Structure 1
Amino acid sequence: MSSTQSPRPKPLIAGNWKMNGLKASASEFGNIVAGYGAELRGKVDLAICPPATQLVPFAVVALGSRISIGGQDCHVKASGAHTGDISAEMIADTGATHVIVGHSERRTDHSETDAIVRSKTEAAWRADLVAILCIGETEAERRGGTTLAVVDTQLAGSIPDGATAANLVIAYEPVWAIGTGLTPSNADIAEVHGHIRQRLVARFGAEGARVRILYGGSVKPSNAGEILKIADVDGALVGGASLKAADFLGIAAAYA
């Protein structure tokens, strides 16, 4: 039971394919669809966020499977002279239902601030997409003991008013654990997730108790069972391990 004493939300395992995936990748996604049987569907929700070039074909393959498709980023505007960008409305038009915002690679590589992430979250809601909003500290911030302060700042600055369990998912990803094979201790994960839950409840009341909080950062089948049992960990945002059906389904199977 979480620190709020509320029933845990149905878990979500979301795969972020990042800049990976060509047409041939549809077959691997097809294996994920094929492996998402009735027993697993009853216990855990699945989502895959492929590169923008694969949103339409993946949405077609996913039809009838109950696997959600999401974008990896969106522009704050619905349309306009923004060469190379994709709007939330365009993502929704492909049949996708989710979009990742505020991933640390966007915050770092594209200098995205909390204010920008907040605007992108509002854009996602404008297009009736679920925003998977990423937060997390760097290694220097962890070593400096400011993790919870960093999380507080990102939560306050990135989440607009009006958040609900239906339109928002939080993904806590310690930046230093993404793709490195390193993970925080279970106690560290529990502390941060419990702190996030408290902040969500303080701001959004009962809805905050129901918002799913995912853990991300080198999640794989070998450690998923342990991590996903931690209080207030309502699933995972998976990077590299989501590219292989066996690994991704292996993580989801922690709930089987």
Structure 2
Amino acid sequence: MFFCRARALPSPVPPLFDEYAPYKRPSIEEHVTIGRGWDHVGLSISGLALLVIGAIIQDVYSDYTDFLHGKFFAGPILLIIVGIIVFVVAFFGCCGAVKENHCMIITYSVFLLIIFGLELAGGITGYVLKQDVQSMLEDSLNTTSQRYGPANKDITNAWDIMQNDLGCCGIQGAEDWKELFPNGSLPHSCCPNLALNYDCTLSLTHSTKGCLPSLQATIEHYALVLGGVGIGIGVVQLIGVIFACCLAKSIRKEYETV
């Protein structure tokens, strides 16, 4: 007796292309929604940049508190505050994009515009203050140098820190201390490599550059950084406002067509 074994029919090969599912090009709304994810990441990074740069400038300025007017601290403090606000706004905007909430996206756009205004104000402040650095430092250094000595420990420490950090001596040079030290001696901070048990004098190797040009260059540099960061990041976030408005428009259009 012969037995015939049935052969299993081969399974059909799935088609490589579905003739009933033609390629669909991503819509503008999909592109905008994808772009919003990167926009929130960029916004968070810009907030971190504002926070870090503001803190660095604030730290540098705090070393010279006795020589700077209070208005110079407004800019970096503003950057720090705006940086914190940006983190909160980025989270708010992310929630609005995920939930596709038109009202939240519009509110997010308004917040971005306010932040842009604050950053623009901080940037302009940096550039404006740069113009006043020289005259302000001349007045403060002339006034405080006359008070150098044991009777004014805070002023004395401030001068010593500045002369050590910047490698400078006097306002325009070591000769400026002649009036306060008629015997030819200098503050020990003018001779940073001299042992503490030796007196610093004009005849010894000392810092030759004055503190006014050195401190002026430092403050002007950070004022420019403050201005550039404030305006630069503000412009980038203005682009974020445009993206947010596009997303809000697409969400509203989608709900109107439903």
TM-score by length of 2: 0.23
TM-score (structure 1 length as normaliser) = 0.24
Q: Which has the higher contact order (CA 8 A, sep 6+)?
A: 2
Quick check: which one's strand share is greater?
Answer: 1
- Bigger fraction of residues in helix: 2
